[in-house]
Chain A
Amino acid sequence: MKLTLKIWRQEGPRAEGRFESYEVPNVNEEMSFLEMLDGLNERLVEDGQEPITFDSDCREGICGTCGITIDGKPHGPWPGAATCQLHMRAFSDGDVITLEPWRAAGFPVMKDLMVDRTAFDTIVEAGGYISVDTGAAPDANEIPVPKPVADAAMDAAACIGCGACVAACPNSAAQLFTSAKLAHLNLLPQGQAERFRRTEDMVETMETFFGSCTNYGFCQEACPKEIPIDFIALMNRDYLKAKLKNRKLAGRQG
């Protein structure tokens, strides 16, 4: 098939951006979306033009490096898939496809389709961990974790930190990312000691970079791991508890 791509080109963080059109002939429907872009880039380089800068690494939907807004949808048309997992059979001959970077003030564009997501690391740095120095751990089976709890924690921990939730949100809010990490740790018995302090610190750090949640739910739709917004409710409840009761230091459940 033959496609037209309208791609956001921006030379650097402070440069003005613009859309440029590229004709891509001979697209095979077995190709992944990024392989299609690889092919375009090879052609551009061999013609002496600047290739399109985009991030990608594992190409299996697990590292969270890739992320392109395709026709207005972060990661494109397939639900539950990262950009790298999208295949060209999702498109048809003659399609015009628009490619943009994540659009969010918290993720400044570095070049073309590449953005800076350092803010996510800063949120984790604020409390997204369980403090246990190497060597200090008890036997792994010392604390049983009920299977449903472990499963729910795993559902939340599946987040790949790609930022699609922020890109999809009209407010550029990062509640889904932050709440997924909080739910992962706050649900587990190991995470109780720091639960309220963690919640306050991560939420407040998040708010310095990102907008507020007004329950649109677009984040859940865009998430390549289909992480549900229920975790946001859980986060809000813990945050409220932490604030109202000053549970920061209590370190107990409930």
Chain B
Amino acid sequence: MSTVTLNAHAPTGPIADRWDEHRFSVKLVNPNNRRKFTVLVVGTGLAGAAAAASLAQLGYQVKVFTFHDSPRRAHSIAAQGGINAAKNYKNDGDSIHRLFYDTIKGGDFRARESNVYRLAQVSVNIIDQCVAQGVPFAREYGGLLDNRSFGGAQVSRTFYARGQTGQQLLLGAYQALMQQVGLGRVEMHTKTEMLDVVTKDGQACGIVVRDLATGEITSFNGHAVLLCTGGYSNAFYLSTNAMNCNATAAWRAHKRGAAFANPCYTQIHPTCIPANDEFQSKLTLMSESLRNDGRIWVPKSPDDTRPPHQIPEDERDYYLERIYPSFGNLAPRDVSSRAAKRMVDAGHGIGPLQNGVYLDFADAIGRLGEQVVKERYGNLFDMYQRITDENPYQVPMRIYPAPHYTMGGLWVDYNLQTTVPGLYALGEANFSDHGANRLGASALMQGLADGYFVIPTTISDGLAPLLGSPPVPLDDPVFAQTEQEVRDDISRWLSVGGTRSVDHYHRELGKIVWDYCGMGRNRTGLEKALSEIPALRAEFETNVRVTGRADEVNQNLEKVQRVADFFELGELMCRDALHREESCGGHFREEYQTDEGEAQRNDEDFCYVGAWEWKGPDTPQALHREPLEFEYVQLTQRSYK
């Protein structure tokens, strides 16, 4: 029996009026009644901190959970380049409709029109809000805000704070959140990891958490649970995500009934520092903003091992400028990444392992002077030099694509509610707005849109009917039962007593997922992955070694549970990639490409959101389809030429 129905509750009518109409139609909770509702917010990145602060300001009782030692450490902090908004401060033809169009096209026509239009609409409010909070965005000499360009757009609509835009936006949201903590409207639980969602009669009623300092397992109850827990790029092991980023909250929710949508839509970011060796623990992103001034090239002849400055101009292939003259180095991420892969695969790779392409600033330094380049990108250049011991002012950077962001995630409706009533997903944790490929500077926009503007409006629609009913009490058996399942799981991991570390298995899993479900995918590879992952998982479950106890700080215990979830999720990524017999955005099936090697969609058969329903540990998930309809954007072959 299926419990999942995908009703997007997406409004109809003229697209520009839909969000307004929807705001008018949602049920409201009167300000005096809001304190009767408890909302649990899991995760304190842009989406979580913004949502928690905004809901507390409205008067709801908010409890916040993060596994970090401080809410300010969430991985949103590492976003470098910027945040898009349709302000048209540059008078270069931007508009809400253009941001909407660019985002839909950038996502290769695999996102919901209503959601994306709303995102473009509230983008302008986000900038206002952040500036008022004191986010020190870059300014021009007249004191007004500066903008730069990002991939997939021909306008300058990206606001930025040096190379630390995510940090500054997150600190803004964090500070707003801490103010509410000080006012007693938010209860903050740091070093607290969510390990399960509790449901009663199909409705989310709380969560089970582990105190990472003491190991204590407890439950919290509430009228609504918001998962703002980020993406799952660490399924690849090596990614630009922070070490502790994980999919556990989202995955446990999936196993409690929340459909997981488009898991194969993963973003491989074109500009990262190439991997070095076995011991590498993660990859480092070099902001897309660098492509404003940096030029990407490889030697024209394969296996050219001369140092870059000895390769004359006419023996270089500035391949993005050559293939995509109108967008050039600012072609979107999926397109640029695949082009880099094609170059490296064809033997044009550079660097000691021949696994990169050049990102060259010589022209920019010649044109603008070193000082200007330093002002724009100084901290990124320093970061690069520290890691590689090479000076990018003198030698071109070496870059290569790396897993960075996941467009897939928990399926949500227009209200951001998952298929489990009372359970919501915000930010990267949901699947909603980026389709099959996210444009640069749009993740910060979406996280903050969901947190500051969407959920504070839509949550009342779910809460209003619950007025007068207290949350399910903690002594209800559903809590004890879920807690027991979590405890059993922990004891099981501690008692395996195998021989290999958790990291070993994570690395091995990552290799499989990267090789067969990375930048290029095909049927044979995916089928291979689908037989290798379960085999490796069986070994992991019987041969992993977790030392220490459950009732203390135990980082390996934290990790083993996250990796266990990556195993199941990695499998679903491959299954989703196998079923989607087309190429779109970040999902590139080698069997489905144009003569020029670009992604070839199949709108006839695959113009839908693929949402998977958990059917138990021994049965494959079942696929549900939410058809995508386009009224305002014409489906075309995406072109950046």
Contacts and interface: CB of A to CB of B under 8 A. Distances in A.
A151 B139 CA distance: 8
A222 B281 CA distance: 25
A63 B142 contact: no
B593 interface: no
A65 interface: yes
A56 B284 contact: no
Contacts of A51: 547, 555-556
Name which of A61, A157, A185 has the most chain B CB atoms within 10 A of its CB.
A157
A190 B72 contact: no
A58 B281 CA distance: 11
The A contact surface, by secondary structure, is: loop
Q: For the side of the interface on B, what is the size category?
A: 35 or more
Contacts of B500: 46
A87 B386 contact: yes
A89 B390 CA distance: 13
B41 interface: no
A147 B140 contact: yes
Interface stretch (A25-33, A164-172, A241-249): A25-33
A140 B179 CA distance: 22
B144 A144 contact: yes
Contacts of A70: none
Interface residues of A, number: 80
A140 B159 CA distance: 11
Given A51-B547, A60-B383, A134-B53, A154 B162 contact: yes
A188 B78 contact: no
Contacts of A41: 501
A78 B386 CA distance: 10
A78 B389 CA distance: 13
B244 interface: yes
A136 B548 CA distance: 50
B82 to A, nearest CB: 14
Contacts of B161: 154, 157
B138 interface: yes
B484 interface: no
Contacts of B178: 121, 124-125, 128-129
Contacts of B70: 64, 117-118, 120-121, 161
A157 B171 contact: yes
A39 B73 CA distance: 24
A150 interface: yes
A139 B176 CA distance: 19
A111 interface: yes
Given A48-B547, A121-B178, A157-B171, A42 B504 contact: yes
Closest 8 interchain pairs by CB?
A: A144-B143, A137-B132, A129-B175, A154-B136, A137-B128, A134-B54, A140-B131, A125-B182
Given A56-B243, A158-B164, 7 more contacts: A12-B553, A60-B284, A63-B73, A63-B77, A134-B453, A137-B132, A158-B162
Interface of A: 11-12, 28, 30-32, 34-35, 38-39, 41-42, 44-46, 48-51, 53, 55-65, 78, 80-81, 85, 87, 89, 110-111, 114, 116-118, 120-121, 124-126, 128-141, 143-147, 150-151, 153-154, 157-158, 160-161, 184-185, 188, 190-191
